[in-house]
Each structure stands twice: as structure tokens, then as C-alpha cells.
A and B are shown apart, each in its own frame.
Chain A
Amino acid sequence: MDIKVLGTGCAKCKSLEKATQEAVAKTGVNATVTKVEDIVEIMNYNVMTTPALVIDGKVVVKGKVPSVDEIAKLLTK
């Protein structure tokens, strides 16, 4: 599974990255988490509110930081 955290580097983006990593560890899914900070690349995903979470090329969360459990749910879906 390919997970990307989109964010220009604000506090919220960092907490999303942390929560995602925790969710991956918790669910034990085989996934790579990468942080995308380049604005040009972020815009390719057509998001207007950061942070955003992309799983296998699909934007699943934008503009908010969900809880670890919520992310875990998205990962196992």
C-alpha cells in the first residue's frame, strides 16, 4: 500500500503524518508512508485544503487530522 501525506509543513501536517504512522503500526498493514511537501506535486492531487491523506493514489482525507482509529479504518477498508 502506498500512502502519501500531503502538506506544506504546518503543524497539522506533521500531526497527520504521525497519526498515519501510528495507524500503520497499529493495523500492521504493509505500507510505505511518504511526506509530500512540494506544492506543485500537492496540487496534482487537486486538494485545496491541507493536510491531505492519499492512499494508493486516491485522496481519502483533506483539510483535517483524523484520529489514529479513523485512519486505521481507512487503511483496512
Chain B
Amino acid sequence: MNKSNSILKDKAETTVLTIEKPDETNQLSKKKIRLIASVAIILPLIIALYHYLPNLVDVFTFDLLKLNPESHLGEAINFFFYDTIKIFILLFLISSLMGVINAYFPVDRLRVYLTTKKMYGLQYLFASFFGAVTPFCSCSSIPLFIGFVKGGIPLGVTFAYLITSPLVNEVAVAMFLGLFGFKATIIYAGTGVLMGMIGGFFLGKLKLDKYLSDWVREIQDNAIQEHEEWDGENLSFLDRLPTIIKDGWGIVRKVLLYVIIGIAIGAAMHGYVPENFFTEYLSADKWYAVPLAVIFAVPMYANAAGIVPVIQVFVAKGVPLGTAIAFMMAVVGLSLPEATLLKKVMKWKMIGIFFGTITVFIIMLGYLFNLIL
């Protein structure tokens, strides 16, 4: 009796299993189809929204809210809605794009590349470029630094990564694209990567290894050349997509408030600050304008989201673009909280040289841009 019962049970279980299995795969492919379909519908919708945004916002502010297009208030509110929505779209798209790049080329893989391949100087470009496309989080910069040192990567190359990583990040790029246009964004990102390369090369030549913290030096002495192949998760693009989109959305949500505040301040200033208001102090023919802007910016720990809309107003009111870019770079690229974090891995002297070098570079860039733009 008992036996037959258990056999019956066994049978029941196997049938359940065989039924469950195809059902599960069926569900999975259904999920995939739904995913592809939603991307295929939502992406063109987002692009269309971006394209027709000025008209839509005009209709909203001037027809629906019945604001006067000639008035300061009307202009400011129109600016606010247009810029906010535009930047959210850009931020989401760029974060997702960077997520895709990162899924296929994570930093662990970069380390294996940098340590195992002969690069003939190209490693600076490589490190700097990947600093640009990886999402920056200041709390990750220390493990990254140690990870590089541990892999036997030269200090200069590590610096190349460290310089570009906060300087060119998804938020800064999206804000620049939205508020200054394509050309200024290319200049900003391009010189950011270039500065990482040159700065890293220069700092590498200074032979600063003796100014690393003692425990980091120990790691450096025991550095092992890594030959292990990079063992990434072998997930298909479709399996990864939900996480990538979720992370992209996460970045948007995180800076949402800052973007709104920054743009609100910017929009208010747009409407009310008179033309050429700042020119007296920050115009191109004042030689001290660039260093002043940069030195003023270093202790500021504003994020790109909050600061770019304000800078855009500065530019609109007569501050040259070079000065503005230099200011922006100093704000995001050099921050005191980052310096205190770096204290864990390097001595103050090294932090000083690192920050000093970048500051000088940014100032020179500011002058250069003011000359050629």
C-alpha cells in the first residue's frame, strides 16, 4: 500500500516536472518577446518625444498655462520644462548606452588587457578612455586604484584612469549635450580623455611611487602579473538588457532632484539676470578669469547635474565657453572629499602633486579654449 503510494507520488512528480519544463522555457521566450517589443515601441517614442519637445513644451506653457511668451516668467517656465525633460531623456539614453559598453567590457577585463598586452604607450589612451565610459562612483575609486596597483599596472596609467573617471561621466555628458550642444560636448569629453592621457603620462614620469601609503607599496612590491582569462558571466544581450535599463533608470532617479534644482535656478537666472552681467569679471580679456574660476571650483563638491545649468546661464550672459569648461572640469574632476578618500592609498604629498598637476592642466585648457573657440 505504502509502496504503491510512493510510486504513484513519484509518477505524479515526474509528470509535474515534465509539464513544468516546457512551460518555463515558454515563459522565458514570452518574456523575451515582450522585452524586444517594449524596446521596439518605447525607443522610437522617446526619440519622437525628444524631436518634438520644443513644440510640445510651447503648447504646454503658452497655450495650456496661458503664459505670455514675451514675459520673463513665461520664458523661464518654458526653459525649465524643456531643459528638464530633454536632459532626462539624454541622461537615460546615455546611461543605458554606457551600461551596454560596461556589460561587455568591465574594468576587470581592462586590467587583464593592461597587464598582459604590450601597448606601446596606447595604454594611457585605453585607461583614460575606459575611465570615461565607466560610471563614476567616488567610493569605487580606491578599490580600483589598489586593483590596478596589485595587477602591476604602472602608476601613470592608473592616474590616467583616475583623472578621466570623474571628469567625463554619464551625467556630465548628458547635461553638456542637453545644454551646450554637440560640439561643446565633444570638446569637453575629448579634452577630458586627452587630459587623462597626458596627465597620467606626466605623473608617471615623476616617479611618485615612494609617496604611496606603506601598505599600498607592499602590495605593489608583491604585484602579480595577471594571466588569468577574464571569466565574465556568459549572459546574452537580452538577459542583460533589463538590468542595464534598470541601472540607467537608477542613475536618472539618483540625480533627478539635482537636475531639477539646477535647471530651476538656471531658468530663473535666464529670465532675470541681464545680458552681459558677468562679463565685467569673467570675460576673455581678463587674464585672471580662468585661474579664478578654477580655484573657486576646486573646493566645490557640486555634482554635474546641479552645476551645468548654472554654468549655461553664465555662458549665455557673456562668460566665454573656455572659462566655463575649465570651471566645470575643476568642479567635477577635483573635489576635497575625493582627496580625503585618496589619503587611504597615498601620502598627502602625492595628493598635492596630483591635484596641483590637474589644476594647472585645467587652467591651461581654459586659456586654450578661450583662444580657439
Please list the residues of chain A having a beta carbon within 8 angstroms of any beta carbon in chain B. Answer: 7-10, 12-13, 39-40, 42-43, 46-50, 63-64, 66
Contacts and interface: CB of A to CB of B under 8 A. Distances in A.
Contacts of A9: 139
A42 B144 CA distance: 11
A46 B147 contact: yes
Given A39-B146, A40-B215, A43-B146, A48 B111 contact: yes
Interface string B233-266: 0000000000100010000000000000000000
Contacts of B143: 8, 39, 42-43, 47-50
B356 interface: no
A48 B137 contact: no
B11 interface: no
20 contacts: A7-B139, A8-B143, A10-B140, A12-B139, A39-B142, A43-B143, A43-B150, A47-B147, A48-B107, A48-B108, A48-B143, A48-B144, A48-B148, A49-B106, A49-B107, A49-B140, A49-B143, A50-B140, A63-B107, A66-B243
A30 to B, nearest CB: 26
Interface string B137-178: 111101110111010000000000000000000000000000
B208 interface: no
Which of B139, B150, B219 gathers the greatest number of chain A CB atoms within 10 Å?
B139
Contacts, number: 50
Contacts of A43: 143, 146-147, 150, 219
A11 B336 CA distance: 19
B344 interface: yes
A50 B139 contact: yes
A41 B144 CA distance: 14
A49 B219 CA distance: 18
Nearest to A43: B146
Contact of A12 (B137, B147, B215): B137
A48 B147 contact: yes
Contacts of B144: 48-49
B142 A64 contact: no
Which of B106, B107, B140 gathers the greatest number of chain A CB atoms within 10 Å?
B140
Contacts of A42: 143
B70 to A, nearest CB: 44
Interface string B103-139: 0001110010000000000000000000000000111
